[in-house]
A and B are shown apart, each in its own frame.
Chain A
Amino acid sequence: MNQRVPAVSAAPAAAPALSWWRLFTSTDHKSIGLTYMGVAAVFLVLGGLEALVMRLQLAVPNNHLLVGEAYNRFLTMHGTTMIFFVLLPLLLGFTNYLLPLQIGARDMAFPRLNAFSLWLLVGGGLLLYLSPFTGSPSQGWFSYAPLSETAFTPQRGVDLWSVALIVSGYGTTLTAVNILVTGARLRAQGMLYRRLPMFAWMAWVNGFIILFALPCLTAVLMMLEVDRLLGAGLFTRGDPVLWQHYFWLFGHPEIYLLILPAWGIISEIIPVFSRKPIFGYEFVAWSSVAIAFLSFAVYAHHMFAVGLGWPVDLAFGTTSMLIAIPTGIKVFNWLATMWKGSVRYTLPMLYAAAFIVQFTFGGVSGVTFAVVPIDWQLTDTYYVVAHFHYVLFGGSLFAVLAGLHYYYPKFTGRFLDERLGRWGFWLNVIGFNGVFLVQHLLGLMGMPRRVYTYPALSGWEALNLFSTVSGFVLGVGLLVLLVNLWRSRTHGAVAGPDPWNGWTLEWLSSSPPRRENFVALPPLHSRRPLWDLKHPDDMDHVRPPRHDRQGRPIRDEEREHR
């Protein structure tokens, strides 16, 4: 019951071969998107190796592999790399690649600005990795003042670190400008806001978060540099807590700007592999807007232990709990989408399922931090480390991996190898949960974070060793994934334009898409233009009810894969 798409999609695959020169000079959003992902892959290897070295140091108590300042340097580089140069470029890559395709545009609104943003980000990453030559930054990615002041971290690497983040931050801000204008102005005829594909919606809302969050970082980094280079003392004679206010005013929305496009990817994958339109489209869309607002209103929950006073703690505790509502809405909507659908556990869907479980787990441990007394107990323990890795790695990165498997046929015209893919999936899931699940326990037992060693206490050694071993399993899993990504580019099975029987516009174009993306667009009347195209007798905008009175599906879409 799988009708072929009419002739519009049978456009010739006119994408020219990948060449290095084209990669460096292209202003095409697809080429830029893929370059973002390639850059992120390089940094993922770097950041991952840093993490493994740290885990080796922590494998046994009283270890001497990576002591004191050296450990702090690895810690700083790992955090900075992963947040700014792995997750962010990955998500920007997806946004760049997919946003124009999904809204039926030829390119982003400002293609040359787009390329400029990419190279600013790459330049920032290079600056960051030049810092070891001038003394690696060792103040942590959060760079708390006064620790980050010259008195405590005199090495020049900290200044390079700041400049690296300012430079790449400007790149990201300009990308946000591009995303916002593209979403607002370049939608095809009939692509109303209420018909935007979920990923496009969330990527667009994400543009707002970036636009207002990143300048906070830029401002506070400038202030830090005025302190460090000109001896102003804003955070020493002034107020060290001011750093935390400004930093987290950026830092908390940053978490959401790393997860929102990831949610968008998940919201694309789950409906397609459940053969049902997403449940509660409006709720999924508008909860993103709610999160965009709330993300700025919860920032001080990183500072409960600072001593802001009870009323402030209470206010921010409340808003932090509120954010569980729109987040929960999304999770329940994904589950409801799968409910009574005919779910196909392809590789992307497997990753999406792992995402839901892990992200929900991370979300729930996040709610525990909104309870101020619990936060006081658990802050600066491994419980925090476990929590944010569950959200950012188990959530954000797993969603990106789901997206990679889902969109790989679109990027390259070929499928990822199924057997390697499954090996990679299970190694990643087992490895990831092995590393971080036990860290909840370590945190509850009182093991502090940011320490380079620990005494031989009953229970700590075994769990730490387990965590380290799992870390290497995870490393192998990611390696398998990278090998698969590289090999399948030339060896994978040929996919065709619409391998998953999708519904959004990107599956209309050839794989990989031609330079202008589309030959012609179909009339857009609903949220699933390709469904309408494939089922002219059962179009969404003239749709009958989905279930009969007994709750049995009466539409083909829910039986397609039975």
Chain B
Amino acid sequence: MPNDRASRTHLGMLAFLASDTVIFLLLVVSNVYLRRTEDHGGQTLLDPAHMLIFSVLLWGSSAVLVLAERQRERRDPRGAGALYLVTALLGAAFAVAQGLEWSHLMARGGTVSASLFFATFYTTTGLHGLHVLLGLPMLVGLSVLSFRGLIGRRAPGVAAAALYWHFVDAVWLALYLVFYVWRGP
């Protein structure tokens, strides 16, 4: 079914995410590269263990989203709607945690202009945060639509939105590893 609408929307989202990947890749590379030009002691301000808790919330939201998609395919709009809402709440918790972490870091001197590490850190995680914030209304919208029974079993737009959210979570995995875990070249 090459002209099928579902595959069209899916492909479109894939293409968009491919181009998004390039942006994240370049930003991460700039962090890795610029670490060489300056002492990056700033990284010690980051607390990987603390952030891991909230990262797990975000990654967990992907798992919940998989369940929600399954409920949708089983024609359980109420269950799916509830699970979409849970996904959004987990995402929102992550966004709040990131905001708190940022203010915490800035209070301790880790500002954008403090070091090149932090400059690229805020640029990259900020862009990721923006992706999370854009995803939240999408998920809430899905939940509302689902509760109202407006989403069918095969809903290409919904599948594409889910793809977006999984992408955002996968990007966070890479960012967490580079910024929080890896100690640099």
Contact = CB atoms under 8 A, between A and B. Distances in A.
Contacts of A212: 18-19, 22
Contact of B113 (A185, A215, A230): A230
Contacts of B41: none
Interface stretch (A26-34, A233-241, A310-318, A373-381): A233-241
Contact of A242 (B8, B15, B22, B30): B30
B15 A181 contact: yes
A234 B116 contact: yes
Size class of the B contact interface (CB-based, 8 Å):
20 to 34
Contact of B19 (A214, A239, A242): A214
Nearest to B21: A215
B19 A173 contact: yes
A483 interface: no
B161 interface: no
Q: Do most interface residues of chain A lie in helix, strand or loop, or is the interface mixed? A: helix
B120 A185 contact: no
Contact of A181 (B12, B19, B27): B12
Interface string A243-268: 00010010000000000000000000
Contacts, number: 99
Contacts of B120: 234
A471 B82 CA distance: 66
A445 interface: no
A351 B121 CA distance: 51
A223 B30 CA distance: 9
A110 interface: yes
Contacts of A249: 26
Contact of B15 (A211, A226, A230): A211
A148 to B, nearest CB: 16
B23 A233 contact: no
A176 B15 contact: yes
Task: Specify which of A226, A227, A232 lies most central, judged by the most chain B CB atoms within 10 Å of its CB.
Answer: A232
Contact of A237 (B2, B11, B116, B122): B116
Size class of the A contact interface (CB-based, 8 Å):
35 or more
B20 A238 contact: no
Nearest to A188: B3
A234 B112 CA distance: 10
Nearest to B111: A230
Contacts of A185: 2-3, 7-8, 11
Interface string B30-57: 1001100110000000000000000000
Given A181-B12, A234-B116, A237-B116, A226 B123 contact: yes
Interface string A106-121: 0001100100000000
A520 interface: no
Contacts of B23: 215-216, 218-219, 222
Interface string A195-228: 0000000000000000110111011101100110
Given A211-B19, A219-B22, A222-B127, A230 B112 contact: yes
15 contacts: A174-B16, A177-B19, A178-B12, A180-B12, A181-B11, A185-B2, A211-B19, A218-B23, A219-B26, A222-B127, A223-B27, A226-B119, A238-B37, A246-B30, A249-B26
Interface of A: 109-110, 113, 173-174, 176-178, 180-181, 184-186, 211-212, 214-216, 218-220, 222-223, 226-227, 230-234, 237-239, 242, 246, 249
